[in-house]
Structure 1
Amino acid sequence: MIVVTRLNTSRFAINPDLIERIQENPDTVLIMLNGAKYVVVEPMEEVIELIAQFRARVVSTARTLDSTAPTGPTSDGTLPLRPRTV
């Protein structure tokens, strides 16, 4: 999730995977896949940077998972994951 600010200064978190496009003319508008539109105070470049940072965190977190962890499901059907020890 990324945190952005509405024009009334209230902040909210939004899933960047659901953003279809970003327009700036002059306000920044986030247009979602479902057609919803959110006008935010952050400039388009800052929103793009927030999305890039979010994706970098996701990749970084994924890399901390131990690649030698058991790969099969446990008795309750979940996959066991544990942090990598470096």
Structure 2
Amino acid sequence: MVTLTRLNGKPFMLNALYIEQVESFPDTTITLTNGKKFVVRESTEEVNNLITSYYRKINVLGLQDSVEG
């Protein structure tokens, strides 16, 4: 789960596994696989960093960045 902030300032947690798309319109809009949309204060880059961190935490991405081949 990643913690994000709605435009009204209320924080909420979102399961990053259900995120299909993150866009900037200019507000950051997150579209889930079921079509539901959330508009958040974080930038697309911040959302991407949170998602990547979450994926690493649950070992979806493995150790790709920390192991050099």
Superposed pair shares fold, TM > 0.5: yes
What's the % identity of the aligned pairs?
Answer: 38
How many residues end up aligned between the 2 structures?
60
Please give the alpha-carbon distance, in whole angstroms, between the structure 2 residues aligned to 1:20 and 1:26: 18
Residue 25 in structure 1 maps to residue 25 in structure 2: yes
Moved over 3 A (4+): none
Q: Calculate the TM-score normalised by the size of structure 2.
A: 0.83
Q: Calculate the TM-score normalised by the size of structure 1.
A: 0.67
Greater length-normalized contact order (CA 8 Å, ≥ 6 residues apart):
2
Who wins on radius of gyration, i.e. which is larger?
A: 1
Letter in 1 for 2:45: E
Q: Which stretches in structure 2 are left out of the alignment for 5+ residues?
A: 63-69
Greater share of strand: 2
Secondary structure, in 3 states, of the residue corresponding to 1:8?
coil
